[in-house]
Amino acid sequence: MTCTINGKTVETMVDVRASLTDMLRNDYHLTSVKKGCEVGECGACNVIIDGECYNSCIYLAVWADGRDIRTLEGLMGPGGELSDIQQAFIDEAAVQCGFCTPGFIMSAVEILESGREYTR
Ligand code: FES
């Protein structure tokens, strides 16, 4: 399969049973993609695929063929600088234990980039 991960085009072989979480963590060492519940409930594994946030634990890696995938690592600057949204989470102490924070941030990015108006 071929896809784009954080702006880089990659071509790879994947097990048809593998989740996108496993591919991103094991093959590309993108460890911001956390394994929490692994049943699509907690959001710790959230990534953005073609502009929409998905639970990567219940998304097969092969479904990502031809798609654009973004993880928390892709938000950072070239020197590892934090993005504005990451800094905002720090400034507002918007963490619990921190494990799922990358997934929360990717959900926030989807909301911000969607252009949709949200209410409280
Ligand atoms: S690990 Fe909980 S939703 Fe994916």
H or E element, residue 84: helix 84-91
Residues in the chain: 120
- Which residue's CA is the nearest one to ligand 1's atom 3? 40
Atom of ligand 1 nearest to the CA of 21: 4
Atom of ligand 1 nearest to the CA of 41: 3
The SS3 assignment for 35 reads coil
Q: Is the CB of 24 under 6 A from ligand 1?
A: no
User: If pLDDT is split at 50, 70 and 90, which confidence band does 118 have?
Assistant: confident
Rounded Cα–Cα distance for residues 16 and 32 (Å): 23
Rounded Cα–Cα distance for residues 43 and 17 (Å): 20
34 CA distance to ligand 1 middle (Å): 8
Q: Indicate whether 43 pLDDT > 90.
A: yes
Single out the residue of 103, 105, 28 nearest to residue 61, CA to CA.
28
Q: Indicate whether 21 pLDDT > 90.
A: yes
pLDDT tens, 91-108?
A: 999 988 889 999 999 999
